[in-house]
Structure 1
Amino acid sequence: MGLPVFDKDLSEEELDRFVANATRASNFLKTVSHEGRLMILCHLVTGEKSVTELEDLLSARQAAVSQQLSRLRLEGLVIPRREGKAIYYRLADNRPKRILELVYELFCEDDS
């Protein structure tokens, strides 16, 4: 799968769709570009976690974790589930996992 060629003449409908997709991609990338949100997504790749579990894993205060989860929820990247007083989060789809795999490959794998 390669990148499409954009130097051809696009119809107005194709251009509108292209701009809408670019906006969606830009919002997604802005959301995952924050270190705290990126770390939350990394932990959620392994499965659903409670807010308390995420606080412990990130060594972060509840307010900070909740703020980042709120942004991830707003952008449609995570889905909450309430069980009693606990709230659990999971990835909404496979997009964050695919991005994180690439980020890991580019920045975390041992290049020796």
Structure 2
Amino acid sequence: MKIEAMTETAERVAELMKTLSHPKRLLILCNLVEGERSVGDLARLTDMRETAVSQQLALLRREGIVAPRREAQSILYRLARPDVAELLGFLYATYCTPSETTEGAAPITESVA
């Protein structure tokens, strides 16, 4: 791969990682790994207000990371990009499942000694 193409790819990936690195967005996305969710479900699961969840989902929609689907009176959100779903699936399996399935995974700590 030429350096120009690698540089362009690195820039796109860095932008994606910035979007994913926001703690509230990451909580929302981790819940979407499990399947489609409504704004109300996501608010309850993340302990956020629905307006805050909606704002984060709007940004994620603009970035093409999530997609909505209307079901009767509800709008359900899902992960829209297979590459992002795979990355989040890895993060979810590594950090969000019971410890016996994540043996050897690096723990998430608030500070580094």
* TM-score between the two structures when normalised by the length of structure 2: 0.73
Identical positions, percent: 43
Provide the alpha-carbon RMSD of the alignment.
Answer: 2.3
Query: Partners of 1:33 and 1:102 in 2: how far apart?
Result: 15
Structure 1 unaligned blocks of 5 or more: 1-9
| Ranges of 4+ aligned residues in structure 1 off by more than 3 Å | 101-112
Higher Rg: 1
Instruction: Tell whether 2:49 aligns with 1:65.
Output: no
Q: Cα deviations across residues 57-100 of structure 1 (Å, max 9, x unaligned)?
A: 11111111011111111111111112343211000122233323
**Residues 99/51 of structure 1: CA separation in 2 closer, same or farther (3 Å cut):** same
* TM-score between the two structures when normalised by the length of structure 1: 0.74
Query: Partners of 2:7 and 2:47 in 1: how far apart?
Result: 39
Q: Which amino acid aligns with 1:67?
A: Q
Structure 2 unaligned blocks of 5 or more: 97-101, 106-113
Q: Give the number of the structure with larger relative contact order, counting CA–CA contacts within 8 Å between residues 6 or more apart.
A: 1
Indicate if the aligned counterparts of 2:38 and 2:74 stay in contact, CA closer than 8 A.
yes
Instruction: Tell whether 2:42 aligns with 1:54.
Output: yes
